[in-house]
Structure 1
Amino acid sequence: MTVLRDADLATAFDHASRTYDALTAANPGYHAHLRRSVRRLGLPGRGEGLRVLDLGCGTGASTAAIRSVLPAAQVTAVDASAGMLERAAAKPWAKTVSFVHAPAERLTEAGVLGPFDAVFAAYLMRNVADPDAVLAQVRDLMLPGGRLGVHEYTLSGRRRDRAVWTLVVRGMVQPAARALGDGPLYDHLWRSAIDFDTADRFARRLRAAGFDHVRALPLPGWQTGITHTFVARRGDLTP
């Protein structure tokens, strides 16, 4: 099982976009966990006057979570997969939501301009070839003190959590995905989480990228020790 990157990964997501919502709906707590992670940003009120970047929006589940928690915020949702983005944009949204087709590595080239009060990235960082470069670009797009929320599969490092992840993905998700013709993407899902940072290592990566007030917060249910919310603020890199 290999990790997919760049155009290969975008193509796999394009193909899987038609069934993606059905598979995520079968994951207990999937949407509730996204809303919890948005709330953990600690943004004030209903988001009045705030600009939020939804990086790696997929079919719009993270966008919907942001809208649920911060209905008055202006949201720019970005994804590298044209197929996923088409599904997202076809759903009913307020006029304050806009969609941009772009890889996370080339936001400014696609016209995504800051400053943003907050950036939310769900299930993205393990999918990019250079997470440090993406974090540096994200930081540049944020206001000083702006909030970052990363919702990601980052295993704790315990053998038990790896075993649960393997059981769920290889025993349940992958067979369903192969039946739908999307085996390579969900093979990537398992391997990308296994190969990616542990929660502690990703927290260190955030600090090295110029973020402070970094916290790694577990999510409940079967994903405890497997999926975390990372919240941080843009710090000052000047000595």
Structure 2
Amino acid sequence: MTMLRDSDLAAAFDRAATTYDRLVAANPGYHSHLRRSARRLRLPGGGAGLRVLDLGCGTGASTAALLRAAPHAEITAVDASAGMLERAAAKPWPPNVRFVHAPVERLADAGVHGPFDAAFAAYLLRNVTDPDGVLAAIRALLGPPLGRLAVHDYTLSGSPLHRAVWAAVCRGIIIPAGSLTGNADLYRYLQRSVEGFDTAAGLRDRMAAAGFRDVRVLPVSGWQTGIVHTVVGRR
């Protein structure tokens, strides 16, 4: 299968949007892990006076995690998929949350300008054509004194065991569930995108090469240990 990218991937997520929330809700730890990664931004004062960017917000799960961690922050949530964003925006949100339809590479064209105090990127970087360019763009949007980034994603540890667990879960659960919704191609892409992207250590090095400092890899719990990580750094 050809790797989906850019407009083709956005269209695939458009088609999957109506069933996406139900599928991820069946994943133990999905929402709690997002909340843990959002807390790892360590935003002070409940985010009061801070501007936070939620990149690749999808149907709003990452936005909800950020809102839990920083209820007083001004949160700008963006996504390239109109269908996913429509689902997100239809949910009840406080006035300090806004949604913007735009690819992360063209935020300025959509009126999204820095500086932001922090950025959260969940399940984003392995889905873009140029992850190094996207990291550079994120860094340019961040400003002092915080300038923090948390990346939450499937980034395998490098252990053959964790790679085997991921493959087994995809074959036995994720792809069959996607097939029931008529979106099997998207979930086959999910498996291959994870296997073809950085390990956790590789993403750490990529962020450091993009100019982020104090970059650290932090684990999550449950079956996704060694499969999902938070990688944090600062401008």
Relative to the length of structure 2, the TM-score reads 0.98
Residues 1:67 and 2:103 aligned together: no
Equivalent position amino acid for 2:168 in 1 = L
Once the two structures are TM-superposed, the CA of residue 3 in structure 1 deviates from its matched residue by 1.8
Which aligned pairs between 1:153-168 and structure 2 lie closer than 5 A?
153-168=154-169
Runs of 4+ residues over 3 Å off in structure 1: none
Counterpart CA distance in 2 for 1:169 and 1:2 is: 18
% identity of equivalent residues? 66
**Equivalent residue number for residue 230 of structure 1:** 231
1:123, 1:153 within 8 Å by CA — same for their partners in 2?
A: yes
What pairs with 1:42-191 in structure 2 (closer than 5 Å)?
42-144=42-144, 145-191=146-192
Gaps of 5+ in 2: none
TM-score by length of 1: 0.96
Deviates most, 179-188 or 54-63: 179-188
Question: 2:43–2:69: 8 Å Cα contact kept in structure 1?
Answer: no
User: Does 2:171 align with 1:207?
Assistant: no
2-structure distance, mates of 1:143, 1:160? 39
Look up the SS of the partner of 1:76 in the other structure.
strand
State the 1:169 CA deviation: 1.2
Secondary structure at the aligned position of 1:186 is classed as helix
**1:38 aligns to what?**
38
Deviation at 1:173, TM superposition (A): 0.9
Q: Which amino acid aligns with 1:166?
A: A
CA deviation after TM superposition for structure 1 residue 109, in Å? 1.5
Please give the root-mean-square deviation of Cα atoms over the aligned residues, in Å.
0.7
Unaligned residue ranges in structure 1 (runs of 5+): 235-239
Q: Name the aligned partner's letter for residue 216 of structure 1.
A: V
CA distance in 2, matches of 1:183, 1:101: 25
